[in-house]
Amino acid sequence: MTQQQEAPPPPVIKTAEEIAIMREAGLIVAEALQAMREAVRPGISTLELDKIAETVIRDHGATPAFLNYAPGNHPPYPATITASINNELVHGIPSAKRILKEGDIISLDTACFHKDFVGDAAFTIGVGKIHPMAQRLIDHCEKALWAAIEASVAGNRVSDVARATEKYAHKHGYGVALEYTGHGVGRKMHESPQVPNWWPSGRRLRRNQIQHEDYMLKPGMTYAIEPMLIAGRNELAELEDGWTVVTKDKSLCAHCEHTVAITDGKPLILTLP
Interface contacts to Mg ion, rule CB under 5 A = 1, 120, 224
Q: 118 or 231, CB closer to Mg ion?
A: 118
DSSP 3-state of 60:
coil
Minimum distance between the CB of residue 183 and Mg ion, rounded to whole angstroms?
A: 6
Q: 71 or 173, CB closer to Mg ion?
A: 71
Q: 1 or 138, CB closer to Mg ion?
A: 1
Minimum distance between the CB of residue 103 and Mg ion, rounded to whole angstroms?
A: 27
Q: 1 or 19, CB closer to Mg ion?
A: 1
Q: 25 or 224, CB closer to Mg ion?
A: 224
Whole-angstrom Cα distance, residue 116 to residue 222? 15
Minimum distance between the CB of residue 112 and Mg ion, rounded to whole angstroms?
A: 12
Q: 134 or 256, CB closer to Mg ion?
A: 256
Minimum distance between the CB of residue 25 and Mg ion, rounded to whole angstroms?
A: 13
Outline where DSSP puts E strands in the chain: 3-4, 63-64, 81-85, 88-90, 105-114, 117-126, 175-176, 180-184, 191-195, 222-225, 228-230, 236-238, 245-247, 253-255, 258-261, 268-269
Length of the chain (residues) = 273
Whole-angstrom Cα distance, residue 11 to residue 111? 19
Minimum distance between the CB of residue 226 and Mg ion, rounded to whole angstroms?
A: 5
- Are 233 and 249 in contact, with CB atoms under 8 Å apart? yes
Nearest CA to 37 among 119, 128, 98, 125? 125
Minimum distance between the CB of residue 118 and Mg ion, rounded to whole angstroms?
A: 9
Whole-angstrom Cα distance, residue 40 to residue 174? 25
